[in-house]
Structure 1
Amino acid sequence: MKFASPWIITGLLFAGPDAQAQLLPSPGALGQVGGVVPGVLDRIEGAIDETGLGGRSDRLAERLVSVRAAHIGDLLRRHGDLIELDDRREPARRGVILLTGVKETSIEALRSTGYGIESQAIEGIDLPVIRLTVPQGRSLAHALKQVRLIAPEAVASADNLYFPSGPANMVPTAALASNGSVKPRAAGLIDGGVARHPSLMGSIEQRGFARGAPRASSHGTAIASLISGTGIVRGAAPGAPLMVADVYGDDPAGGGAFAIARALGWMAARGVGVVTVSLVGPDNPLLAGAIRLAKDKGVTVVAAVGNDGPAAPPAYPASYSVVVAVTGIDGRGRLLPEAGRARHVDFAAPGADMNAARTDGGKGRVRGTSFAAPLVAGRLFVTGSLDALRAEAKRGRTSGQGWGSGIICDSCRNMD
């Protein structure tokens, strides 16, 4: 299965069941690509409506894993000059290692070993970072082990990639939403760019943190509408001004930990209090540190638990203790069978049987925990505190850890 762009599979969201059936690989496709990306689990959601898969959750999970594995395999084959697997076999930007807490003597030792050295500071959260360029011919996995031996005092990680949990294809023909400067107290969104849409009438400021960014994307537009939409799509905080960080642009290796950390710094510097991150990927020390430092500056990150299913490893950044983790429910109030898990779940919100904005100016059905997170973030932006949000939460159909404190914005489905 070939893709026109690294995110094209997520464009299935607005396709009908027949088109979905034609584009989805057979369950056997997983075996064909498993040797390329062993251990990589599905980290996309919202791409498939259950009507296209006969309503069987086990089949849904199998197809999602197949699509995800095929996508990663294709991404590595087509963009191997930009992307490779790290020492945990997680996708990352090729030949880049991120260091924090490194001594000057270790920097000199790394330089003498052939590593390129670039010092950067992430503004807004005061986080100094050394970006190492791996010598040509050395794999990222091998280089990480070597760097940790040379600089044992430092924290070294790959620039891991985080994937949007829904329709993330960039739309070159779609105009960006107003790209002026918003006043203080805006809601934050780290995702793809946001397209102009009649429901997005509030002020929107967009900044790029990847090559070619900001550019309009399906996923960013849908998420933005569920935060601050008015009109045909009404968000949880109607009319709220938005600050949007596009960490993808047209870069096949977009969505890296370093880009997300820089985006958090930008928002912290501008006084943003609530940031939606409907992206999923592995644990990453740099991203974890950036989120903690942003929290110290008053930034609360709200993240989706992903769509890998309850048996998958915990997804990040939702699994970080200072992040508000959100799962999804359907129109009957049931937890989504494909919903992933985090080390904790704080809230549930609608993630199926609902509409969101499309880049063509209309609205369309969406599915996945990705679309639950902005509803929680929007209500947190309005209420101003987690205690107030907990008081607002409704009990789920059953008690248990999977629901967190309860359901937020149960009526926010835009189905009319």
Structure 2
Amino acid sequence: MTRPFSLIATAFAFLLAVPAGAQMGLGGVQVGVPPVQELPQNLPQNLPGSVLDPLLDRTDRLTDSLAREVQELAEDRVRRIDRLVRRNSDIIERDVRGEPARRGELLLMDASPAAILLAETRGYRVLGREEVEGLDMEVIRIAVPQGVDLGDAEADLSALLPEATVSADNLYFRSGGSALPASAPATPVRRQGTNTPVGMIDGAPGRSVPITALRGFARGAGEPSDHGSAVASLLRSAGASRIYAADVYGTDGAGGNALAIARALGWLAQQEARVITISLVGPDNPILSRAIAAAQASGAVVVAAVGNDGPAAPPAYPASYRGVVAVTAVDRRERALIEAGRALHLDYAAPGADIFGLDRRGRSQRLRGTSYATPLVAARIAAALAGGRDWRRSLDAEAHDLGPRGADDTYGRGLVCRGCGARR
């Protein structure tokens, strides 16, 4: 079958735009997708078969390779969750959707006293009632009856109490991707500082990264982490100087759960954080959804990563919630990372490969992943707020358009913080 010229032209342009060493993901390095404006124009209309046939074969191999890589990213996510549940079966199990959550515990909102009594007659037990400080929301922790799977209990209690909001305490994972020691000491290029309070929900930063305050929301909280240190150091290098860090992981094998993140959001609201950056991903959860909405109602701009499980993975939360600034990442050639996940909307891209931050010991590390693009966007929003500007208008003016003209599903409204996270 003869292929239409438009397909041939597109394939030829794509191959010219992508360096040969990057096309097949050599050495485990994920390939990027070239911006449309890099593609050559006015391709010849009469290329001979001796040129076209090898070109089209190479294009087919490239397409197949990219498709396999995207599929492998999604499968890796499933395998990681399977391993996590198996290795921590004493504290983690799956909810009714198969998502990982804290074992043996459900969360309730909007339940009347009569509903709670009814649940207790079916073997459920109240573990505690909690007013999430700063968010004006109450969460009731419920123990699942002995010997009942979490998913079965969630379905049963939801049917028993249709007027209540029933949820597992789902787990959320760092969207950091890879981090490697830098070959030489690196000093990130610093932007002009701002005193706008910025909150981060992650692991605890190491002592080498100055922050304003740290509070823990997990067992063993305060234990320094490489991921939290990198996020905090990128915030500082991009200009944020008042950083409030909420540690939702600590040393807890079931850390990073929805209730811990809700508590962290409440504390940050009390600190009057104007911007909150969250480089974590997981499933939709009604507790987290309400906490995000409450933090936004307090005046905070919530910024979140789309994750690194690839475009075939489910939409990432909290990035997919309404009003959350969803962030993806590009490499140093301003190509979208192939491992970048997706959300139900996309706002901005920022550098997320070959950038540098600090680990928990204060050593420079080379970073890759949407986790590391997110604090850069948060810092730019904080800078706009510090100047009394409309942050959306300010970032839109700064954003460098990539891909199709205007907002798109790969780069959002464009690339911000160009050059952030780089070495001097």
State the TM bucket, normalised to the shorter chain: 0.7 to 0.9
How far off its partner does 1:209 sit?
A: 0.3
* Distance verdict in 2 for CA 1:355–1:168, change over 3 Å: closer
Match in the other structure for 1:305: 306
**In the alignment, residue 401 of structure 1 is paired with which amino acid?**
D
> 1:364 maps to what in 2?
365
Does residue 326 (structure 1) correspond to residue 302 (structure 2)? The answer is: no
Q: 1:164-195 CA deviation, whole Å, 9 max, x = no partner?
A: 012699xxxxxxxxxxxxxx842100000100
Determine if contact 2:178/2:369 at 8 Å carries over to the other structure.
no
C-alpha contact (below 8 Å) 2:177/2:308 kept by paired residues: no
Offset of residue 59 of structure 1: 5.7
- How far apart are residue 60 of structure 1 and its match? 4.7
Q: 1:163 and 1:243 mapped to 2: Cα distance?
A: 20
The amino acid of 1:208's aligned partner reads G
Question: Which segment drifts farther, 87-96 or 143-152?
Answer: 143-152
Give the number of equivalent residue pairs.
Answer: 344
C-alpha contact (below 8 Å) 2:307/2:370 kept by paired residues: yes
Q: Which runs of 5+ in 1 are unaligned?
A: 1-48, 170-183, 229-234
The equivalent of 1:146 in structure 2 is 156
Alignment-mate amino acid for residue 215 of structure 1: E
Identity, % of aligned positions: 48
- Residues 159 and 109 (structure 1), Cα distance of their counterparts in 2 relative to 1, 3 Å cut: same
Match of 1:115 among 124, 141, 144: 124
* 1:226-270, Cα deviation, whole Å (9 max, x unpaired): 111xxxxxx2115x1211011001111000000000000001011
Cα deviation, residue 205, structure 1:
1.0
Q: 1:291 to 1:342 in 2, by over 3 A?
A: same
Match of 1:372, SS state, is helix
Cα distance between partner residues in 1 of 2:90 and 2:167: 19
Q: 1: distance between equivalents of 2:219 and 2:67?
A: 38
Contact 1:306 1:315 in 2 (8 A): yes
- Which residue pairs with 1:287 in the alignment? 288
Q: Is the 8 A contact 1:53 1:60 kept in 2?
A: no
Tell whether 2:28 aligns with 1:52: yes
Say if 2:227 is the partner of 1:219: yes
Q: What is the rounded CA distance, in whole Å, between the counterparts of 2:176 and 2:67 in structure 1? A: 19
* Deviations, residues 312-348 of structure 1 (Å, cap 9, x unaligned): 2211000001210001111111111111111110111
Taking the aligned partners of 1:245 and 1:128, their CA distance within structure 2 comes to 20
TM score, norm. by length of structure 1: 0.78
Distance 1:375 1:396 in 2: 18
1:95 has 2:104 as partner: yes
Deviations 1:33-79 (A, max 9, x none): xxxxxxxxxxxxxxxx9743485655654554454333322222221
Structure 2: gaps (5+ residues): 1-24, 32-64, 180-194, 386-390
Offset of 1:391 from its aligned partner?
2.0
Matched, 1:408 2:419: no
In 1, the alpha carbon distance for the partners of 2:374 and 2:116 equals: 40
* 2:353 match: secondary structure: coil
- Give the letter for the 1:98 counterpart: L
2:127 is the alignment partner of 1:127: no
Which of residues 164, 171, 174 is equivalent to 1:164?
174
Is structure 2 residue 384 aligned with structure 1 residue 383?
yes
Structure with greater Cα Rg? 2
- What is the DSSP-based 3-state SS (H/G/I as helix, E as strand, rest coil) of the residue aligned with 2:262? helix
SS of equivalent residue, structure 1 residue 401: coil
Q: C-alpha offsets along residues 279-316 of structure 1, whole Å, 9 cap, x if unaligned?
A: 00000011000100111111111000111222322110
TM-superposed deviation, 1:365 = 1.2
Residue 187 (1) aligns with residue 164 (2): no
Cα 1:311–1:64 change in 2 (3 A) is: closer
Q: TM-score, normalised by structure 2?
A: 0.77
SS of corresponding position for 1:156: strand
